[in-house]
Structure 1
Amino acid sequence: MDQNEALWPVLEIDRGKRGSLVDQIVAAISDMVNRRSLRVGTKMPSVRRFAKCNGVSTFTVVESYDRLLTLGLLSSRRGSGFYVARSEVTAAPMPVALQATPVAIDALAPDLYSGVSDALPVGAGWLPPEWYGETTILDAVRHAMKIPANRLRGYGHPLGFPTLRQHMATSLSAELFQVGADQIMLTNGATHAFDLILRTLTKPGDTVLVEDPGYSNLISLVRHHGCIPVGIARGEHGLDMDMLARQAAATQPKLMFVNTVLHNPLGTSLSQAQAHRLLALAEQFDFWLVEDDIYRELAARGEASLAAMDGLRRVIRVGSFSKTLSPVLRVGSISCSNSLAPELLRVKMLTGLTTSEINERAVYHAISARPYRKMVERLVDQLSSARERTIERLEEAGMMPLARPRGGMFVSAGWAQAPGASLNGKLAADRALAAGILLSPGEFFSLREPSTVWFRFNAAYAADAPALTAFLQTLR
């Protein structure tokens, strides 16, 4: 046993106190670091040892260490463990040549989602407005504003604009799976849908499986609800199913979120075989599958669909129009079983009442218009060309894709070197912002510190961006 571990003090954890055990542990260790009772370089106890000393679960310790890693108070060394990384919460100054801007990496998130920044948004999740077909969208908004006067009373239908839901039910039934309009609930985008699902199906302390890497907002949202996110590795060939089986057996998860098609950030899709095994594991260990299906329209026909295979029995399908229409419309959807729909609707009404009928009318006019299908086909072609050019540009900077995308807007790529003091994703993103470039580092998408330095690139902005290529060359 390590000498530091043998001398490890038992923390004063109050289970009757407000706030999670994780919050108490993080606060206690932060205080010890700031008081210098834990000095830089001190080896922390192993996860198992810490859990045993303090009478908490190993999952609580894992999340606590993850938080401390994010704060920069701890660092991890592969095969060795966790160490105190600095002596106070305010980091020591870096050399001038590598100094970050005052904007912290967490502060980049609003710029990456809002679009208000003037920086080149190569890490953002939206497409250039002209790619969406501005005329189609503006015409749809004008139609929506002609809403009948009698519809200005009340809040609208609790499930969302009936005409849009019926149109979606007809389209989904023809292309993927049988679903009725009353099984579809409209939301303020996909993230709102994830929030409603977590509110409805989980309680604090529940385990939720997520893909690692995966959608950054989702990981934060799971933690916000007091749940324990457990990452399942995803790479070039899909999910690590053996790891999934082990974690499901060990943690008894309540649900799992999965991008079946055009995974964010890798751009890969699950094979039919993997989708079948995933459904089998969900059945075996009795957890819900939330299928994040917002990129479906950008994918080739015939890709795996969990909702189609399962018939919405154990699968909850989340959709959105932000990737083929403007994200400013904020219209998403949940498709689920008849038995689950009433409870999800109850939670929707409790937490925010109805969604915007004007936005939903605009989406209906856009997707039911004759030019819409051709606009999507053109979008797919543009993205295909842009992805190839992006990969070429990144290779010029010595970067290699983490996986070969099957479609969509993202290419994730990086260098085969471990993050260090001189180069890591957070530091690079801060330096990029100072140079007028918005990057999305691998840290945004992973539960743990990435083993290599990589970023997610939006091909629509990265394909023809000399400023990006020049900046990446400086990082080399």
Structure 2
Amino acid sequence: MPRQGTKIRTVMEAIRTRIAARTYPPDARLPSVRALAKNMQVSVSTVVEAYDRLAAEGVIGARAGSGFYVLGHAAPLALAHIGPPRERDVDPLWVSRQSLEAADAMPKPGCGWLPASWMDVDGLRSALRAVARADGAVLADYACPLGLPALRELLARRMAAVGIEVPAEQIMLTDSGTQALDMVCRFLLEPGDTVLVDDPCYFNFQALLRAHRVQVVGVAYTPQGPDIAAFAACLQQHAPRLYITNSGIHNPTGGTLSASTAHRLLQLAEQAGMVVVEDDIFADFEVQPAPRLAAFDGLARVIHIGSFSKTVSASLRCGYIAARADWIDSLVDLKIATSFSGGFLAAQVVRTVLTQSGYRKHLEALRARLARERDRAVERLGALGITPWLVPRAGMFLWCRLPDGIDAARLARASLQEGVVLAPGNVFSPSLSARNLMRFNVSQLTDSRVFDVLAQALHQMRTAP
């Protein structure tokens, strides 16, 4: 049984965490002593002592006859403390750090990008040489607020190929896909709003939404898109302001939205007055285009975003937003206020790569290579008792069930100790209901060390007392 001093420290840390997360802002009244004691299942005297110690530190203060209040200015925002508590192994921010900070030689089948050796580096070098010879303004000037016209015109043509009719004037370039989503959230959300995401979903959606201090609600995802009955129930219960999803290839499952699910989803969104944001970052991996919500909706209440980090370069930070004209006009103002402008350079390099004949050939080879590695990964993972939730038609991800009784976070922790970065299922699940699932990037599974480490870790977990 924990000692009294330990319980007091636990209560103090809980209060500090809520202040850091701005759950308790300055001048906020803290729960009564009895209410907090009941909530934390400790004695009243424990809470009294914890409050007295925090008051002595100047963190909180007592007001006669009223209770305890938070003192001082708002604490610096601590994203890790926002939202329901998570083990470090399944916290999106921590898992992102592990992938980004891993040494180049370290296998990272949990990351969400292709190895550098799989990218069209020769095409990039050719584009960089061509842009280096461009007019000085391209190399040194700010771009216009909407961004490079030639790239926006190219994007309009590319969107038309998947049924999204949008003029270049309704497309705004951003510094990345993440910045595009951040700007949309700044534009439409207030702290305390509710946002609907897929369960599972791309884990950085959750991390970014923490920064906007909104309530995140997950809706179960099926091979054809979100579970429509669950989606309707979430709209009824939570009245979300936004729904954020992947179009094309879903991350992490690899599923694709069906036309019937898309139509029903949009009907429900219109009835609820909800805005939909679809992230199309994996468009160039598709063999056959999946339905796009923006195509069915005509950008009336769907905002379409994307970037080129997965197929062109993650070093060239360039993304975009396509939306209705009045929203784009307001988003331009927001862009000027928060980043003033973009630059010509990255946009011009991206446009040059996309229009080179070598890019099409590179994509054809890349899709074929991913298909081969996907088949190989399914076979090798299957030999370990790891089976795909579905076998995707395209893309780099396999969303897999682990053998019975194997916890993905424990497996990831054991593998990291052996120099392999994995992505356990609950990183992607807002409801933390994917503890037996894991996302594998097939392009990062070519190193046989990964399977050796997995086999060893699985054996140890099965035989541990």
Q: TM-score, normalised by structure 1?
A: 0.77
- SS of 1:107's equivalent? helix
Shift of 1:355: 2.2
**After the TM superposition, which residues 252-401 of structure 1 pair with which residues of structure 2 at under 5 Å, given as runs?**
252-401=239-388
2:80 is the alignment partner of 1:70? no
Shift of 1:415: 1.8
Deviations 1:33-81, CA, capped at 9 Å, x for gaps: 9x9828xxxxxxxxxxxxxxxxxxxxxxxxx999454158xxxxxxxxx
**1:449 & 1:417 partners in 2: Cα distance?**
17
**1:198 & 1:288 partners in 2: Cα distance?**
11
2:444 is the alignment partner of 1:474? no
**1:399 & 1:350 partners in 2: Cα distance?**
48
Q: Among 213, 227, 239, which residue is 2:200 paired with? A: 213
Q: Among 234, 237, 247, which residue is 1:247 paired with? A: 234
Q: Which residue of 2 aligns with 1:21?
A: 23
2:42 is the alignment partner of 1:37? yes
**2:91 & 2:310 partners in 1: Cα distance?**
27
Shift of the 456–221 alpha-carbon distance from structure 1 to 2, 3 Å rule, reads same
Q: Which residue of 1 aligns with 2:211?
A: 224
Is residue 66–residue 447 contact of structure 1 (8 Å, CA) maintained in 2? no
Count of aligned pairs: 403
Is residue 414–residue 452 contact of structure 1 (8 Å, CA) maintained in 2? no
Q: Among 161, 166, 180, which residue is 1:179 paired with? A: 166
**After the TM superposition, which residues 180-199 of structure 1 pair with which residues of structure 2 at under 5 Å, given as runs?**
180-199=167-186
What is the one-letter code of the residue matched to 1:155?
Y
**2:355 & 2:170 partners in 1: Cα distance?**
20
Is residue 144–residue 359 contact of structure 1 (8 Å, CA) maintained in 2? no
Shift of 1:426: 2.7
Deviations 1:358-394, CA, capped at 9 Å, x for gaps: 1111101100111111211111111111111111111
- Larger Rg belongs to: 2
What is the one-letter code of the residue matched to 1:357?
F
Q: Which residue of 2 aligns with 1:441?
A: 424
**2:327 & 2:316 partners in 1: Cα distance?**
26
Deviations 1:105-142, CA, capped at 9 Å, x for gaps: 85341242466554202111111223222111111122
Is residue 92–residue 207 contact of structure 2 (8 Å, CA) maintained in 1? no
Shift of the 141–436 alpha-carbon distance from structure 1 to 2, 3 Å rule, reads same
Shift of the 104–169 alpha-carbon distance from structure 1 to 2, 3 Å rule, reads closer
2:144 is the alignment partner of 1:160? no
Q: Please give the root-mean-square deviation of Cα atoms over the aligned residues, in Å.
A: 3.2
**After the TM superposition, which residues 115-130 of structure 1 pair with which residues of structure 2 at under 5 Å, given as runs?**
116-130=103-117
Shift of 1:432: 1.4
Shift of the 115–356 alpha-carbon distance from structure 1 to 2, 3 Å rule, reads farther
**2:340 & 2:290 partners in 1: Cα distance?**
35
Shift of the 277–65 alpha-carbon distance from structure 1 to 2, 3 Å rule, reads farther
Shift of 1:348: 1.5
Identity in percent: 32
Q: Among 435, 442, 462, which residue is 1:459 paired with? A: 442
Q: Which residue of 1 aligns with 2:73?
A: none
Shift of the 68–319 alpha-carbon distance from structure 1 to 2, 3 Å rule, reads closer
- SS of 1:393's equivalent? helix
**2:100 & 2:316 partners in 1: Cα distance?**
13
**1:65 & 1:448 partners in 2: Cα distance?**
17
Q: Among 396, 404, 428, which residue is 1:409 paired with? A: 396
- SS of 1:408's equivalent? coil
Shift of the 114–175 alpha-carbon distance from structure 1 to 2, 3 Å rule, reads farther
Is residue 268–residue 407 contact of structure 1 (8 Å, CA) maintained in 2? no
Shift of 1:431: 2.0
**2:170 & 2:203 partners in 1: Cα distance?**
28
Stretch of structure 1 that moved more, 428-437 or 103-112: 103-112
Is residue 386–residue 400 contact of structure 2 (8 Å, CA) maintained in 1? yes
Q: Among 102, 113, 129, which residue is 1:142 paired with? A: 129
**1:22 & 1:415 partners in 2: Cα distance?**
40
**2:243 & 2:104 partners in 1: Cα distance?**
33
**2:447 & 2:316 partners in 1: Cα distance?**
28
Is residue 196–residue 244 contact of structure 2 (8 Å, CA) maintained in 1? yes
What is the one-letter code of the residue matched to 1:165?
R
**1:289 & 1:193 partners in 2: Cα distance?**
14
What is the one-letter code of the residue matched to 1:442?
G
Deviations 1:275-333, CA, capped at 9 Å, x for gaps: 11111111111101101111112113341111111111111101111121121112111
**1:120 & 1:177 partners in 2: Cα distance?**
38
Shift of 1:208: 0.5
Shift of the 352–454 alpha-carbon distance from structure 1 to 2, 3 Å rule, reads same
**1:293 & 1:25 partners in 2: Cα distance?**
44
**1:228 & 1:105 partners in 2: Cα distance?**
16
What is the one-letter code of the residue matched to 1:210?
V
Is residue 320–residue 331 contact of structure 1 (8 Å, CA) maintained in 2? yes
**1:317 & 1:26 partners in 2: Cα distance?**
42
Shift of the 208–394 alpha-carbon distance from structure 1 to 2, 3 Å rule, reads same
Deviations 1:9-44, CA, capped at 9 Å, x for gaps: 9xx99xxx9964378999999x979x9828xxxxxx
Is residue 249–residue 394 contact of structure 2 (8 Å, CA) maintained in 1? yes
What is the one-letter code of the residue matched to 1:457?
F
Is residue 105–residue 429 contact of structure 1 (8 Å, CA) maintained in 2? no
What is the one-letter code of the residue matched to 1:428?
L
Shift of the 174–68 alpha-carbon distance from structure 1 to 2, 3 Å rule, reads closer
Shift of 1:104: 8.8
Shift of the 254–105 alpha-carbon distance from structure 1 to 2, 3 Å rule, reads closer
**1:139 & 1:28 partners in 2: Cα distance?**
66
Q: TM-score, normalised by structure 2?
A: 0.79
